Amino acid sequence: MGAAPPKTVMITGVSRGLGRALALELARRGHTVVGCARSPEKLQALVTELTLDEPASSSSSTSKHLLKHLDVRSDNCIKELAKLVVEEGKVPDIIVNNAGTINKNNKIWDVPAEEFDMVIDTNIKGIANVMRHFLPLMIERKRGVIINMSSGWGRSAVAEVAPYCSSKWAIEGLSKSVAKEVPLGLAIVALSPGVVNTDLLASCFGSNAALYEAPESWAPKAATMILNLTSEDNGASLTI
């Protein structure tokens, strides 16, 4: 398979786990990464690593990548990011809505209201904020793919993570609905990453999370799949 032509890929929740591994893999393949995350320290560490991975022939002292410290729960922050990518000429060809969180294992009556809100506001409203401000940019260009990270638990259910399951079931429905709204040339895809050893998985599985593949092993096949999605995949629910 030949290398995909260079693309600009935006990843939310880019500073750790799947987002970080995917960003590094895409950068190694020569693609431009636009990203955002809540941790300024982890974000800066990623900026440094992405810069080191850039070709030595690059004469510019400025990285071609664009990473911003922000919270996807803030509609205004996402609005400002959308303005910035236009100004910088980095409107994404692909968006991976990866930012997400999970509740501590608990029965629903023992999940504090603020913890439930955190899961819903990050996992659902965060994605809605991104689509609200970035879909018009893609529609104007008549192309683009938005990947909303779902989960196996967005298609099934387990006990003690009801808030998380609720949010991922919502992403499946949200994605399929928006897929019916976008014009030809665009695609909205719900994508389950499979079971990967991340902090989120460790929250549920504890030390058993280490039995599953690491994000670094997951990223190459994820990158290949994501880069090859087209408008023909609009409305699909896929799994890596």
Point out the catalytic residue in the list 134, 153, 164, 218: 164
Distance between start and end Cα atoms, the chain: 18
Q: Going by DSSP bridges, is the β-strand pair 66-69/94-97 parallel, antiparallel, or unpaired?
A: unpaired
Q: What is the 3-state secondary structure (H, E, C) of 10-54?
A: EEECCCCHHHHHHHHHHHHCCCEEEEEECCHHHHHHHHHHHHHHC
Query: SS3 of 59, please?
Result: coil
155 burial via Cβ count (<10 Å: 0-12, 13-18, 19+): middle
Displacement of CA 36 from its chain's centroid (Å): 10
Respond yes or no: is residue 164 known to be catalytic. Answer: yes
What contacts 5, CB < 8 A, 6 or more positions away?
none
Q: By the 8 A CB rule, do 21 and 50 touch?
A: no
Of the candidates 175, 165, 168, 117, the one whose C-alpha atom is nearest the C-alpha of residue 145 is 175
Place of tokens 């003690």: 160
Please say whether the beta carbons of 102 and 204 come within 8 A: yes
Q: Which residues are catalytic?
A: 164
